[in-house]
Amino acid sequence: MDLARLFHVLGSIVWMGGMFFAYVALRPAAATLLQPAERLRLWCATFQRFFVWVWVSVAAILASGLWMIALMGSMASAPVHVHLMLASGIVMMAVFVYIFVAPYRLLQRAVEAQDWPAGGAALGRIRRLVGFNLALGLVTVAIGIAGRLFA
């Protein structure tokens, strides 16, 4: 259980920390300092590297979460906060997969074609979805921690 918890928390830190840094620090700095062409190229190169780690984190969080549930006996014997976490975690993962296959692909294509208005629109969608996932992720961490205290 401790090893599964370690992978679970490491995955959460990498994913949440990356989204927090991108949303709260890099986004406003890039918007202030860079012209659209450089800004969109920077985001494309940043996502290209960060999303590899999000896939690794998603795999680690899901596998370790299901592993901990298996160690609890079954889903039926898992406490309520684990059910809530599974539901919010699945929503977060679905949102990430959507970002990856839709607006991120559009952003890549727009940058290749040097179509900055289309790139800006795709980046705007990614920003809103990452904001949503960051907020839901912070709630999910609170559920994970508070749930254990009250369980």
- The residue type of 37 is A
147 binds ligand HEM (CB under 6 A): yes
Q: What are phi and psi of 8, to 5 degrees?
A: -60, -50
- Size of interface with ligand HEM, in residues (CB under 6 A): 26
- Stretches 23-31, 84-92, 111-119, 123-131: which one binds ligand HEM (CB under 6 A)? 84-92
Q: Considering only residues 10, 95, 118, 141, which one is a binding residue for ligand HEM as defined by CB under 6 A?
A: 141
Angle at CA 106, nearest 5°, toward 59 and 14?
Answer: 30
* Polymer length of the chain: 151
60 counts as binding ligand HEM under rule CB under 6 A: no
Torsion, CA 39, CA 40, CA 44, CA 46, rounded to 10: 20
Contact 69, 82 (CB under 8 A): yes
Choosing from 12, 54, 104, 110, the residue that interacts with ligand HEM (CB under 6 A) is: 12
Beta carbons within 8 Å of 43's beta carbon, 6+ residues apart: 30, 107, 123, 126
User: Contacting ligand HEM (CB under 6 A), which of 65, 104, 106, 130?
Assistant: 65
Per-residue contact string for residues 17-56; x = within reach of ligand HEM by CB under 6 A: ----------------------------------------
Residue from 24, 66, 94, 146 binding ligand HEM (CB under 6 A): 66
The pattern of x and - marking residues 93 through 132 that bind ligand HEM according to CB under 6 A reads ----------------------------------------
Q: CA 148, 80, 18, 122: dihedral to nearest 10 degrees?
A: -170
Q: According to the binding rule CB under 6 A, does residue 84 interact with ligand HEM?
A: no
